[in-house]
Amino acid sequence: MGRSLYATLAKYGILKETKPTNAPDDYERLAKTAPHLAAILSRTAARTRKALPFKHGYAPHSATSSSSGSPAPSVEYRPSSMQSFLQRLVTFKLTTYANKPPAIDAVAAARCGWMNDGKDRLVCGICDVAWVVAGRAGLSRDAANALVEKQKAQLVEMHKDRCPWKTRQCDASIYRIPLQAPLAMAREIKSRALALDSVLQGVEIKHPLTSPQVQQLLSSIATTTLPASSGSQPASEGTSSSPTEPSETAIITSLFGWAILPPAPPRVSFSQSTSTSTSATFTSISSLSSVSLPNSLPKADTTLLHCALCQRRVGLWAFMSAEHKRQLDVLKEHRSYCPYVVRSTVVPAPPGANGSATTARPASLVSLSAQSPRQDGEQPGAVEGWRGVLTVVLRHGLAKRQRWGVGRAGNASVRRSNGDANGATVEGGEEGERMEIDHIDAMVADVKNRGGKELLNYVKGLLG
């Protein structure tokens, strides 16, 4: 636009140089010497800006500052890309955008293409619109609810007419835990747990898992072997332990998505060749949360834990004081909208599941989805992210025990030797495990009867 303006001025002999040093002064001089020409140029410029409202080179100041340590968010329109969504979500800070209801919180705004740049200020990197989300302080309940509904609509309506975010936003399923195959999930958890083991020494954690769930989780992780490239020595197929097994605290902390914050976060490339498929996005998110074993052990009093999905950071030094001992709540330390907390994860059914599978599910798996009420707007069948991850990991342990042919007597003797003091809890765990192994047997028999097509559909369901 600027080049055509200067060319027009030079054509009429008003401007002699190709590029003036101060364009506003030249326009004021033109308005005085040739007001009609200035009016024509002004109307032409206005029509051009209206027809081309996009400015793809925009990035908010908070995201591009060197002190933030995070890469600049992508301003490309990719509503199906979880990477682009997370790059917008990372701009929302607790100091600049907090205490918002779910209808207009950081997730809702990022799904509609907005980035946070300043106190309660939303910016679109495509149509360059910026506006401030007004607070609800001092308003009555009815007035506050009406304001929230208006702001919810403004998340879409505030975009310019030609902005693609006004036509289509991200789907609600864009922000959920990327479930993988049971073996891959178990390996990822064990890899993070090995890295967390040294820094969590002396740290007490709080978690919502029951005793049978903890025992089954530990058993599943113990039977998981890591590839040689992960930095640990793989165990043989018939053994249940390796030279370095992570502690119970590290395994549970890893299950809830926590990992050691790397000193230099990897930069994410947003090239045109980047795939926006679901499976490719899932792989990239898993790589963000997976941490390889460091060459030198980090110090616990200077270590930060972080969640790759909600970007929450926790300093371990706050939980190591001998005078004021605090427990690390691995669930509540996440942000309120984190997929590990919100019921947004749908666990694919195992092969052979039918309409009556709900009544035949094992007792321990039924408890995963029956401990918290469903909230409005949540997808039917969805569970909290940590419950979904636990369900998938337990499937790996159950399948491996089924392949090894573990009998009732063997399970009973092992569980009695590990938990004589638990009494009825051990008996309940034995009964639940027997039901789970019976369920695995029935599932395998059903797959054999139906053929390989059913197994292929199950694998496709795991991959999204």
Q: Based on the domain organization, do 213 and 134 belong to the same domain?
A: no
Task: Output the pLDDT for position 382.
Answer: 87
CB 307 within 8 A of CB 257: yes
CATH of the domain at 106: 1.10.1170
Structural domains in the chain (count): 3
Residues 204 and 353 in one domain: yes
Q: Is 39 a domain residue? A: yes
β-bridge partners, 383: 345
246 and 166 in a common domain: no
Give me the pLDDT at residue 172, please: 87
Which pLDDT score, from 0 to 100, does residue 331 have?
A: 95
Residue 388 belongs to some domain of the structure: yes
Of 174, 204, 219, the residue that ends a domain is: 174
| β 328-329/205-206 pair status | parallel
Task: For residue 423, tell me if it sits in a domain.
Answer: yes
The sign one gets for the Cα dihedral 65, 67, 70, 71 is positive
Query: Is residue 67 included in any domain, yes or no?
Result: yes
Asked if residue 426 belongs to a domain, the reply is: yes
Q: Do residues 73 and 88 touch, judged by C-beta distance below 8 A? A: yes
pTM of the model: 0.63
User: Three-class SS string for 266-302?
Assistant: CCCCCCCCCCCCHHHHHHHHHHHHCCCCCCCCCCHHH
Unique residue bearing structure tokens 């036509």: 167
Could you give the C-alpha distances from 119 to 59, 91, 143, in angstroms and in order?
Answer: 16, 12, 22
Q: What pLDDT score was predicted for residue 445?
A: 60
Q: 19 lies in which domain range?
A: 2-51
132 and 156 in a single domain? The answer is: yes
Q: Do residues 144 and 198 share a domain?
A: no
Supply the pLDDT for residue 296.
57
Q: Is residue 56 part of a domain?
A: no
Residue 413, in any domain of the structure = yes
Contact predicate 310/256, CB 8 Å = no
Could you report the per-residue pLDDT of 191-203, keeping only the tens digit for each? Answer: 999 999 999 988 9
65 and 23 housed in the same domain: no
C-alpha separations of 417 from 82, 210, 215, 249, 411 in Å:
46, 19, 13, 21, 10
The DSSP call for residue 421 is G
Surface-to-core class of residue 420, CB atoms within 10 Å of its CB (0-12 exposed, 13-18 middle, 19+ buried): exposed
429 and 297: one domain?
yes
Q: Do 130 and 257 belong to one domain?
A: no
Looking at the fold, whether 291 and 361 belong to one and the same domain comes out as yes
Q: Give tens-digit pLDDT for 179-222.
A: 889 999 999 999 999 999 999 988 999 999 999 999 999 999 99
The count of residues in the chain is 464
Residues 157 and 190 in one domain: no
Residues of the chain with pLDDT under 70: 1-6, 9-27, 46-74, 229-243, 264-298, 300, 351-380, 400-455, 458-464
Question: Do residue 301 and residue 420 come from a single domain?
Answer: yes
**Residue closest to 181 by CA, chosen among 279, 100, 86:** 279
For residue 375, what pLDDT is reported? 46
Q: Are residues 168 and 186 in the same domain?
A: no
Where does a domain end: 153, 174, 195? 174
* CB count in 10 Å sphere of residue 139: 14
Instruction: Compute the mean pLDDT over every residue in the chain, rounded to the nearest whole number.
Output: 73
* Structural domain contains residue 391: yes
The last residue of a domain, from among 174, 209, 225: 174
